[in-house]
């Protein structure tokens, strides 16, 4: 079981969290002309890296806040957790 | 205020589990609370109002993790950043709450009818919670609260007393019976008294 440090509540068991996907994906800018391919890439295409990965997690059974986690996808080691507006 | 019992079909008074040859005072006491008002208070992210200026029944909103502001009637539980759960036995608090918070800064939601509240008393009540909840209970003291899960059910735990333990559990009303069964199953080995 993973222990994840929520930036708001502290370290908690993985049971309290829900995975929220890749945190490196940027939504196309508002009101900008977007091609079908760009939109398709934004919605569907994800990398599946081996090693460090920045991802969103949701503390769904705790403070209900979203935050970022930098995790190694092979060892599950968690290097850092950040608030959504923070960058590594 | 929850006037209709959530647990009326399952909560029967009496002694259960391994209670024989034990002093009744050493058993866990399980009860349902239904005379409390519950309000969720959420401050909008765009709001810049200082929460220190807000006074509810002599209490201020606390911005510290796990902390509960409390007096004899009212408890304000920290639920997350800019989010609190107000629990009180004062029914007239409802009117003052609405006048205290500006609609442009706060969302106030009456959850009084949407929560099941179970109270556990006795020193083994923490042992019961440890069976289904991954939280490290050694960190919790009197007037602390935590949102976590118990056997997959999202719950709010409020430590009212810590010697002996008196713990209040909140769950969504529809999960009330399920949580009750999980709690009483976990209490069997210690023996419990339904009151």
- Where do the domains of chain A lie, and which CATH numbers do they carry? 3-25+36-82 (3.30.2270.10)
The tally of CA atoms less than 13 A away on the side-chain side of residue B84 is 27
Q: Do A61 and B81 touch (CB under 8 A)?
A: no
Contact: A63, B147; criterion CB under 8 Å: yes
Closest partner residue to B81 (CB to CB) among A13, A16, A63 is A63
Q: How many CB atoms lie within 10 A of CB B184?
A: 19
Q: Do B149 and A61 touch (CB under 8 A)?
A: yes
Q: Is residue B2 part of a domain?
A: no
How far off is chain A from B54, nearest CA to CA, in Å?
22
Among A9, A16, A61, whose Cβ lies nearest the Cβ of B65?
A: A9
Asked if A10's CB is within 8 angstroms of B147's CB, the reply is: no
Rounded mean pLDDT, B45-57: 90
For residue B142, the tally of other CB atoms under 10 A from its CB is: 13
B142 domain residue, yes or no: yes
DSSP H or E segment with residue B185: helix B176-187
Q: What is the CATH number of the domain that holds B126?
A: 3.30.1360.120
Does B24 reside within a domain?
Answer: yes
pLDDT of residue B1: 55
- How far is Cα B128 from Cα B147, in angstroms, rounded to an integer? 16
Question: Could you give the number of structural domains in chain B?
Answer: 2
Mean pLDDT of chain A: 95
B173 domain-assigned = yes
More confident call, B1 vs B24: B24
Segment A16-44, tens digit of pLDDT: 999 999 999 999 999 999 999 999 999 99
Domain extent at residue B168: 14-34+114-194
Tell me, yes or no, whether B167 and B128 share the same domain.
Answer: yes
pLDDT band at residue B35 using 50, 70 and 90 as cut-offs: confident
* Proportion of chain A above pLDDT 70, given as a percent: 100
């Amino acid at each position: 079981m993973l222990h994840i440090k929520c930036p708001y509540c502290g370290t908690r068991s993985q049971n309290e969290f829900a995975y929220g996907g890749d945190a490196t994906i940027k939504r196309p800018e508002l009101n900008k002309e977007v091609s079908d391919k760009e939109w398709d890439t934004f919605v569907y295409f994800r990398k599946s890296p081996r090693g460090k990965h920045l991802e969103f997690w949701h503390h769904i059974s705790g403070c209900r806040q979203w935050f970022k986690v930098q995790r190694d996808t092979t060892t599950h080691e968690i290097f850092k957790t950040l608030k959504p507006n923070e960058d590594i | 205020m929850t006037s209709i019992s959530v647990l009326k079909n399952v909560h029967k008074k009496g002694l259960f589990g391994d209670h024989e040859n034990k002093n009744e005072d050493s058993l866990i006491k399980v009860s349902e609370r239904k005379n409390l008002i519950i309000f969720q208070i959420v401050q909008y992210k765009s709001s810049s109002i200082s929460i220190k200026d807000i006074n509810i029944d002599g209490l201020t909103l606390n911005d510290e993790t796990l902390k509960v502001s409390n007096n004899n009637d009212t408890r304000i539980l920290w639920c997350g950043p800019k989010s609190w759960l107000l629990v009180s036995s004062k029914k007239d608090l409802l009117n003052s709450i609405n006048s205290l918070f500006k609609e442009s800064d706060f969302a106030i939601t009456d959850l009084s009818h949407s929560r099941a509240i179970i109270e556990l008393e006795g020193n083994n009540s923490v042992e019961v919670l440890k069976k289904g909840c991954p939280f490290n209970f050694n960190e919790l003291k009197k007037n602390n609260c935590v949102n976590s899960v118990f056997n997959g059910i999202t719950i709010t735990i409020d430590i009212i007393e810590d010697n002996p333990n008196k713990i209040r559990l909140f769950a969504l009303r529809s999960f009330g019976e399920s949580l009750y069964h999980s709690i009483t199953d976990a209490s069997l080995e210690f023996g419990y008294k339904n009151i």
